[in-house]
Amino acid sequence: MITLRADLHTHTIASGHAYSTIKEMAEMAGEKGLELIAMTDHAPAMPGSCQTLHFSNLRALPRQIRGVTVLRGVELNVLNTQGKLDLPRGLQERLEWRIASLHENVLIPEEGCDYTGLYLALAENPQIDMIGHPDSPDFPFDVETVVPAWAAQGKVVELNEHHAFDISPRNLENARRLMAACARCGALVAVDSDAHTCWSVGEFSRAAALLNEMDFPEKQVLNTSAQRVLDFIHSKKVL
């Protein structure tokens, strides 16, 4: 059984459509037995979210809140099919956990468009740590081409509880296919809640059960301990 001790995708009130403070998120995470959370509020292109100053001031936060390590992160929006992102590069470089995600209210999906080139561009971007919820049927891509590229560039592939299980059966089908490809080519994955309230932090039991059912190799799951996550980040940069 895979046991998860970190949640690498969470939102606070700073995102504009999430409802808990970082104190509430971290406290609830601790109560649920988590060792670490990444605070990954939406970058500025998401309507109603915080501006660049939020991200440049994250060092004001304590490293730990009630014993839970808090990583200073962001969920970046992909703005175009070349993979352009919505924070200045210098600022992005200083953040500890950078998710890049496609959101249909920022990048409007085009009928018949293939997003393989976009996802390959994200693979090449050294300022991205994790590919967020790449299971959307609105942004199709060639999994057999893209997942090996992510693996080769050390990108973590997300299995997002909310996206895979609460949106449509097609998301779940895509998530399963993605995880199978990750297992085959040795890509690291992280299982996350994408919590928008403190009550959802660390809620990823269905995603964990899916990996268990697939017999997914535990050594390829990043968030089984805080130490593992920190070692991974340290291997790329200094906190």
Of residues 174 and 186, the one with the C-beta less far from Zn ion:
174
Of residues 69 and 160, the one with the C-beta less far from Zn ion:
160
Q: Could you list the residues that contact Zn ion (CB under 5 A)?
A: 75, 101, 194
Distance CA 185, CA 183 (A): 6
Distance CA 85, CA 81 (A): 10
Q: How far is the CB of 66 from Zn ion (least distance, A)?
A: 23
Q: How far is the CB of 219 from Zn ion (least distance, A)?
A: 26
* 230, 236 Cβ separation under 8 angstroms: no
Q: How far is the CB of 217 from Zn ion (least distance, A)?
A: 26
Distance CA 43, CA 50 (A): 7
HSE-up of 90 (CA within 13 Å, CB side)?
Answer: 3
Of residues 4 and 76, the one with the C-beta less far from Zn ion:
76
Q: How far is the CB of 46 from Zn ion (least distance, A)?
A: 8
Distance CA 132, CA 179 (A): 13
Write the DSSP symbol of residue 16: S
Of residues 106 and 183, the one with the C-beta less far from Zn ion:
106
Residue, CB closest to Zn ion: 101
